[in-house]
Amino acid sequence: MTGNEHGGRLGEEFFTPGSSSFTEFLATHRPELLSTRRVLPDGVRAAPDQVPHGTTVLALSFRDGVLIAGDRRATMGNLIAQRDLEKVHPADDCTAVAFAGTVGLALDMVKLYQVELAHFEKIEGVAMTLDGKARRLAGMIRQNLGQAMQGLAVVPLLVGYDPAGAAGERGRIFSFDIAGGLYEKAGFHAEGSGSPYARGALKKLFRKGLDRREAALTALQALYDAADDDSATGGPDINRQIFPIVSVITEDGFERLPETETAALSREMVEQRRARPEGPNATP
């Protein structure tokens, strides 16, 4: 796409009016660049112990917006493939995406989704609506269905700030299945191998009106519970200084909590667990 094949000049396709979807542009002119459309040969299935997989990510709404977080571990079968994987990424100024599933495909999908939103805004002159962003990501997941059926699934979690929502309810959460099914979740949600344990903790600890600090501690408690029961989920690694990624989206936009803040909250949470290993009780 550099223009080298046209003597250093951009090809005609760059000057022809078309869709506001960058994915559709690639599918038409350079489909080989779309990693989500490469299907393995018939009868071949990816071995789970040969491909890194990301595990637990979660989101919850709070008073000023929405929080999204993820542990840092990637596994290949029973091996730890990476201890400091970043599973939470901004999609644009008011939207973020986290992923569980096949790491290589997920990272490609996140990058393509970021370009997709930027391309739409440049072509149309306005940002895509939050509902439109959710539907667009669902379509990209659907394109990966062939690989998902062969063991290379990607399961994102999308959050965004919707200024049209009622006060205290402007943070929205969307989940997906491997076929591109789209589901909006109320309050909180989690995806990945540790998600049943994380959702159990969130069900116990979540309440409306949490401030940012309370929401971050709730997310860390839920990830800790997931790591406690799911070997593929990594808890805070105090010795290596590796902590979960926690980000928020408010009316001021996307913000990743500084490493110092996440580290301090993680240490506080771990210290609380010394006295109460099973975690805090539900708030009345």
Catalytic residues: 55
CB neighbour list of residue 137: distance below 8 Å, 6 or more residues apart: 97, 113, 156, 158, 174, 176
Q: How far apart are CA 29 and CA 12, in angstroms?
A: 11
Determine which helix (DSSP H) or strand (DSSP E) holds 66, and give its type and residue range.
strand 65-70
Q: Say how many Å lie between the first and final Cα of the chain, rounded.
A: 58
94 contacts 194 by C-beta, under 8 angstroms: no
Sign of CA dihedral 108, 132, 222, 230: negative
CA distances from 228 to 21, 55, 60, 78 (A): 42, 13, 20, 16
| Residue 39 structure tokens | 């299907």
Determine which helix (DSSP H) or strand (DSSP E) holds 269, and give its type and residue range.
helix 259-275
